[in-house]
């Protein structure tokens, strides 16, 4: 585990609402239990195209990782996952309500989080929290946390990268609590702290002579 | 003597693994320097985790990042170099090496058809991997470089005008860093490459090369450009934003600028951020087939940046 003065916990999966409720934003988390990968290909197929999920909730686990692993299927059919790194989550918001209902997940893991608006709208009713990966390139460390690769669903339909990889993990991490059970966002808290510095850095600059349609020029806003 | 194609293919496979697994020493040293003075607790934690990640990758010989980015190739031909089967055979060898290494390491098969999303599961497809070329006078070797740059965030282009001046350059630089730095979308601290001038396409290419094919600590030979490199690096690290967009001071590991002569009325600019997984590896394959590995691509040279009509600078200077 990475040495730090930040509060650090190991979270066993599946986790109850009460356990998740104790996690504050900014807490360092390591995961033990079953997780599965799912990103846009899976969301579209499961939620939008109405295919549902390829296995039971018990078989898939209760934590959904927004990622696709660096993995291969060996000649004998066994599965090998080397490194895992999250992909940016904000792009998946439109499928979330249906996704929580379908999957029953209460932990979402990804890169960069979502907005507190989305947390309040979709995560809070589902009693779910959001964990962000760290770096974000800690693929090798996360890869080390994988105890076994249980299955790879929909690999023919979606390809290796977009397939659902079911993983049993032990002390996999580090992650940070980005969205807590009440829908607060660590990134938004940090954005507010950084805002004054941004304003100061812009002193002595000038807006471009030629503007662009659709330009966002308020630096307290985000582009996601 | 022609360089055997088999040597080039095995070298390319080895380079793909090196790039994916071993963080270049110049980037690592630059990151450690930022870590030493980082006072933001969360930002410092992120960098600490990354330093451990590089170690884990090398110990286990596994990819440092699960996102392979887009593996691609840069080939520099010595003017006297000859390859068995010529450039067509080399391109085939680089495509084979990419597919083979994707399976062996393994790397994530990232490359898909933009519309159908079809994936060959090997990082090879239409126009992928990209292969770019440069040439070098008075040499009989071939330099192969692979870069696996993360794909989605941290790059932008803008047509500025001479009247926008340095203030406009600073503004666009900050715009890009702030937009993609929040939440750490760009996976900073990054090597920030800037393209200045050229046409829109060359401006993008120069900036990307500046980010991916120059090392941390390298300095542009033009003193005006070198000064701007220093200034922008300081500016980026003074925003108050660190790793993952948390409060801190670690944003820019280094700033490299490459310039090209442009239209007299314009001043195009591009910004590129080469992330915490600044993956690059180079090998020089000599005419007699022996291979030397390194992490500095040495892509830019006095020859490539020449400003004169003729190239008649003495050999010693040409090698830089
Ligand atoms: S930007 Fe770089 S470190 Fe971040 S996920 Fe992509 S390849 Fe990995």
For chain A, what is the mean pLDDT?
94
Mean pLDDT of B48-56: 96
Q: Does A221 touch chain B (CB under 8 A)?
A: no
Is B34 a member of any domain? no
The pLDDT tens digits of the residues spanning B112-144 come to: 999 999 999 999 999 999 999 999 999 999 999
Q: Is B154 in the pocket of ligand 1 (CB under 6 A)?
A: no
Cβ density class B260-272: b for 16+ within 10 Å, e for less: eebeeebbbbbbb
- Please enumerate in sequence order all residues whose Cβ is within 8 A of that of A94, keeping only pairs 6 or more positions apart, or say none: none
Q: What is the pLDDT of residue B312?
A: 80
Pocket test for ligand 1, best of B24, B31, B65, B278 (most atoms within 8 A of CB): B65
Q: Are A135 and B276 within 8 A, CB to CB?
A: yes
Q: What is the pLDDT of residue B315?
A: 53
Percent of chain B with pLDDT over 90: 96
pLDDT of B317 higher than 70: no
Q: How many CB pairs under 8 A join A and B?
A: 218
**CA–CA dist B47, A122 (Å, integer):** 31
Same domain, yes or no: B310 and B246? no
Q: What is the domain extent for residue B241?
A: 152-273
Q: Give the number of other CB atoms < 10 A from CB of residue B225.
A: 16
Same domain, yes or no: B128 and B13? yes
- Which member of B63, B171, B174 has the closest CB to residue A140? B63
Inter-residue contact A99 to A47 (CB < 8 Å): yes
**CA–CA dist B129, B123 (Å, integer):** 7
Q: Are B67 and A87 within 8 A, CB to CB?
A: yes
- Stretch 42-101 of chain A: residues touching chain B, C-beta under 8 Å: 67-72, 80, 82-88
Higher pLDDT, A214 or A88: A88
- Which member of A6, A87, A208 has the closest CB to residue B172? A208
* DSSP symbol at B138: T
Q: What is the pLDDT of residue B318?
A: 47
Q: What is the pLDDT of residue A71?
A: 86
Please name the residue of chain B whose CA is at the shortest distance from the CA of residue A82.
B62
pLDDT of B233 higher than 90: yes
**CA–CA dist A102, A51 (Å, integer):** 10
The alpha-carbon radius of gyration of chain A (Å, integer) is 19
Q: Are A83 and B171 within 8 A, CB to CB?
A: no
Same domain, yes or no: B75 and B141? yes
Helix (H) or strand (E) holding A108: strand A107-110
Read off the tokens for B177. Answer: 């860093």
Q: What is the pLDDT of residue B133?
A: 98
- Testing the interface with A: which of B44, B70, B108, B245 to mutate, by most A Cβ within 10 A? B108
- Which member of B67, B172, B174 has the closest CB to residue A85? B67
Is A191 a member of any domain? no
Q: Give the number of other CB atoms < 10 A from CB of residue B176.
A: 25
Is A176 a member of any domain? yes
Q: What is the domain extent for residue A92?
A: 13-185
Cβ density class A43-66: b for 16+ within 10 Å, e for less: bbbbbeeeeebbeeeeebbbbbbb
Q: Is B147 in the pocket of ligand 1 (CB under 6 A)?
A: no
Inter-residue contact B79 to B137 (CB < 8 Å): yes
Inter-residue contact A102 to A64 (CB < 8 Å): no
Q: What is the pLDDT of residue B314?
A: 56
In which band, very low, low, confident or very high, does the pLDDT at B39 lie, cut at 50, 70 and 90? very high
Q: Does A162 touch chain B (CB under 8 A)?
A: yes
Same domain, yes or no: B79 and B202? no
Q: For chain B, where are the E strands, in sequence order?
A: 70-78, 131-136, 142-149, 156-160, 190-197, 252-260, 267-274, 279-285, 291-294
- Which member of A82, A113, A210 has the closest CB to residue B63? A82
Last residue of a domain, one of B255, B273, B291: B273
Q: Is A140 in the pocket of ligand 1 (CB under 6 A)?
A: no
Mean pLDDT of A190-209: 94
Q: What is the pLDDT of residue A3?
A: 87
Q: What is the DSSP string of B69-80?
A: -EEEEEEEEETT
Same domain, yes or no: B226 and B284? no
Which residue, chain included where needed, has tokens 């033990």?
A: A32
Is A195 a member of any domain? no
Percent of chain A with pLDDT over 70: 100
Is B116 a member of any domain? yes
CB contacts, 8 Å: B62 with chain A: 70, 82-83, 139-140, 143
Q: Are strands A164-179 and A146-153 parallel, antiparallel or unpaired?
A: antiparallel
The alpha carbon of residue B34 is apart from the nearest alpha carbon of chain A, in Å, by 14
The pLDDT tens digits of the residues spanning A101-149 come to: 999 999 999 999 999 999 999 999 999 999 999 999 899 999 999 999 9
Same domain, yes or no: B297 and B201? no
CB contacts, 8 Å: A224 with chain B: 183, 185
Same domain, yes or no: B14 and B134? yes
Q: Is B70 in the pocket of ligand 1 (CB under 6 A)?
A: no
Inter-residue contact A135 to B187 (CB < 8 Å): yes
The pLDDT tens digits of the residues spanning B63-90 come to: 999 999 999 999 999 999 999 999 999 9
The pLDDT tens digits of the residues spanning B236-270 come to: 999 999 999 999 999 999 999 999 999 999 999 99
pLDDT of B313 higher than 90: no
- Testing the interface with A: which of B55, B67, B68 to mutate, by most A Cβ within 10 A? B67
Q: What is the pLDDT of residue A68?
A: 85
CA-to-CA dists, residue B299 to B44, B73, B146, B222, B296, angstroms = 33, 12, 12, 16, 8
CB contacts, 8 Å: A137 with chain B: 50, 53, 64-65, 67, 150, 187, 275-277
The pLDDT tens digits of the residues spanning A23-68 come to: 999 999 999 999 999 999 999 999 999 999 999 999 999 999 999 8
Is A161 a member of any domain? yes
- Which member of A88, A137, A193 has the closest CB to residue B50? A137
Q: What is the pLDDT of residue B252?
A: 98
Inter-residue contact B240 to B174 (CB < 8 Å): no
Is B132 a member of any domain? yes
CA-to-CA dists, residue B140 to A152, B51, B83, B163, B200, angstroms = 48, 38, 10, 45, 33
- Give the closest residue to A179 by CA, choosing from A135, A115, A136, A133: A115
Q: Does A208 touch chain B (CB under 8 A)?
A: yes
- Testing the interface with B: which of A146, A205, A210, A215 to mutate, by most B Cβ within 10 A? A205
Q: What is the ipTM of this complex?
A: 0.92
Which residue, chain included where needed, has tokens 């991490």?
A: A173
CATH of residue A121: 3.20.130.10
Q: Give the number of other CB atoms < 10 A from CB of residue A7.
A: 12
**CA–CA dist A171, A174 (Å, integer):** 8
Mean pLDDT of A198-217: 91
For chain B, what is the mean pLDDT?
96
The pLDDT tens digits of the residues spanning B134-189 come to: 999 999 999 999 999 997 899 999 999 999 999 999 999 999 999 999 999 999 99
- Report how far ligand 1's centroid is from the alpha carbon of B155 (Å): 13
**CA–CA dist A153, B300 (Å, integer):** 46
Is A4 a member of any domain? no
Domain count, chain A: 1
Same domain, yes or no: B202 and B100? no
pLDDT of A195 higher than 50: yes
Which residue, chain included where needed, has tokens 């938004």?
A: A188
Whose alpha carbon is nearest atom 1 of ligand 1? B150
Same domain, yes or no: B88 and B191? no
Read off the tokens for A40. Answer: 């846009």
Domain count, chain B: 2
CATH of residue B86: 3.30.1330
CA-to-CA dists, residue B39 to A29, A174, B45, B46, B301, angstroms = 22, 20, 10, 12, 38
* DSSP symbol at A91: G
Same domain, yes or no: B128 and B262? no
Is A69 a member of any domain? yes
Cα angle at B257 between B147 and B297, to 5 degrees?
Answer: 30
Is A178 a member of any domain? yes
**CA–CA dist B189, B243 (Å, integer):** 6
Is B260 a member of any domain? yes
- Stretch 110-149 of chain A: residues touching chain B, C-beta under 8 Å: 111-113, 132, 134-144
Is A204 a member of any domain? no
Is B29 a member of any domain? no
The alpha carbon of residue B89 is apart from the nearest alpha carbon of chain A, in Å, by 27
10 Å CB burial of residue A220 (0-12, 13-18, 19+) is exposed
Q: Are A160 and B238 within 8 A, CB to CB?
A: no
10 Å CB burial of residue A147 (0-12, 13-18, 19+) is middle
Same domain, yes or no: B146 and B91? yes
Q: Are B185 and A112 within 8 A, CB to CB?
A: yes
């Amino acid at each position: 585990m990475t040495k730090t003065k930040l509060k650090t916990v190991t979270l066993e999966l599946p986790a109850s609402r009460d356990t998740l409720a104790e996690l504050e934003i900014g807490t360092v988390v390591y995961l033990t239990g079953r997780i599965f990968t799912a990103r846009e290909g899976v969301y579209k197929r499961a939620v939008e195209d109405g295919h549902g999920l390829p296995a039971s909730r018990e078989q898939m686990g209760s934590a959904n990782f927004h990622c696709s692993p660096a993995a291969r299927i060996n000649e004998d059919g066994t599965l090998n996952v080397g490194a895992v790194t999250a992909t940016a989550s904000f792009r998946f918001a439109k499928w979330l309500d249906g996704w929580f209902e379908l999957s029953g997940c209460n932990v979402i893991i990804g890169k960069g989080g979502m907005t507190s608006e989305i947390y309040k709208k979709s995560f809070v009713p589902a009693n779910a929290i959001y964990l962000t990966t760290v770096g974000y390139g800690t693929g090798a460390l996360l890869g080390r946390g994988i105890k076994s690769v249980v299955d790879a669903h929909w690999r023919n339909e979606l390809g290796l990268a977009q397939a659902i990889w079911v993983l049993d993990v032990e002390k996999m991490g580090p992650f940070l609590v980005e969205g807590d059970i009440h829908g607060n966002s660590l990134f938004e808290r940090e954005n507010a702290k950084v805002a004054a510095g941004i304003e100061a850095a812009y002193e002595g600059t000038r807006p471009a002579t030629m503007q662009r349609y659709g330009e966002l020029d308020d630096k307290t806003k985000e582009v996601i | 003597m022609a360089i055997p194609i088999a040597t080039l293919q095995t070298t390319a496979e080895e380079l793909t693994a090196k790039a994916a697994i071993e963080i270049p020493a110049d980037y690592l040293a630059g990151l450690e320097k930022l870590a030493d003075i980082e006072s933001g607790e969360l930002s410092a934690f992120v960098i600490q985790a990354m330093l451990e990640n590089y170690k884990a990758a090398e110990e286990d010989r596994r990819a440092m990042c699960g996102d392979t980015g887009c593996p691609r190739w840069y080939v520099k031909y010595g003017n006297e170099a000859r390859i068995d089967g010529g450039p067509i055979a080399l391109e085939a060898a680089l495509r084979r090496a990419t597919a083979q290494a994707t399976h062996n390491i393994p790397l994530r098969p990232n490359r898909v058809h933009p519309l159908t999303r079809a994936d060959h599961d090997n990082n090879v497809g239409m126009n992928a991997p990209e292969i770019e070329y440069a040439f070098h006078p008075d040499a009989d070797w071939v330099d192969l470089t692979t870069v696996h740059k993360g794909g989605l965030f941290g790059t932008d282009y803008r047509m500025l005008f001479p009247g926008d001046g340095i203030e406009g350059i600073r503004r666009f630089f900050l715009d890009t860093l702030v937009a993609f730095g929040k939440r750490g979308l760009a996976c900073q601290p990054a090597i920030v490459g800037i393209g200045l001038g050229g046409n829109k396409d060359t401006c993008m290419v120069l900036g990307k090369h500046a980010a991916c094919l120059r090392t941390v600590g390298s300095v542009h030979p033009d003193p005006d450009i070198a000064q701007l490199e220093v200034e922008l690096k300081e500016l980026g690290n003074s925003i108050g934003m660190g790793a993952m967009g948390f409060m801190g001071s670690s944003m820019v590991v280094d700033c490299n600028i490459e310039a090209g002569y442009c239209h007299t009325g314009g001043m195009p600019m591009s910004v590129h951020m080469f992330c915490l997984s600044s993956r690059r590896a180079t090998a020089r394959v000599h005419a007699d087939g022996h291979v030397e590995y390194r992490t500095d691509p040495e892509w830019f040279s006095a020859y490539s940046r020449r400003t004169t009509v003729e190239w008649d600078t003495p050999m010693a200077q040409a090698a830089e």
